[in-house]
Amino acid sequence: MKDMMEYKGYYGSVHYSDDDTVFYGKLDYIRSLITYEGMDVFSLRKAFEEAVDDYLDLCETQQLSPEKPFKGTFNVRLSSALHRKAALTAYERHINLNTIVSEALESYLNNSP
């Protein structure tokens, strides 16, 4: 993925500040604010991995469950007409609205370039 790193199931952004001549980023897809920086690509990668490890260690020490990216739930906002169409289609097929949304996303993502 462009401008993103992955480690132990966590994803981090990659940015560069020309003013500070430093690479920096933060863990994405979780609510906690966890940042890291480095002077080059290699030190940025190392700082990212250390940030993930430190976060997981802190959660363990404090006996907290670490946040997981992509929990499987999210809010979707759509027009009332599309909502009605999806709900009625789900009813006709004897499935729930979550199944309709999952099938639609799966179909779209499997057929996208």
Give pLDDT tens digits for 76-89. 999 999 999 999 99
Its pTM stands at 0.79
Q: Does residue 25 surpass a pLDDT of 80? A: yes
Output 65-74 pairs: Cβ under 8 A, ≥24 positions apart: 67/30, 67/31, 67/32, 68/9, 68/30, 69/9, 69/10, 69/11, 69/28, 69/29, 69/30, 70/29
Report which secondary-structure segment, H or E, holds 90.
helix 80-93
Q: Tell me: the pLDDT tens digits for 40-75?
A: 999 999 999 999 999 999 999 999 999 999 988 889
Residue 47: per-residue pLDDT: 98
Q: How confident is the model at residue 38 (pLDDT cuts 50, 70, 90)?
A: very high
Q: Which amino acid is at 70?
A: F
CB atoms within 10 A of CB 57: 11
Q: Does residue 2 surpass a pLDDT of 90? A: no
Residue 74: per-residue pLDDT: 87
Q: Does residue 1 surpass a pLDDT of 80? A: no
DSSP state of 27: E
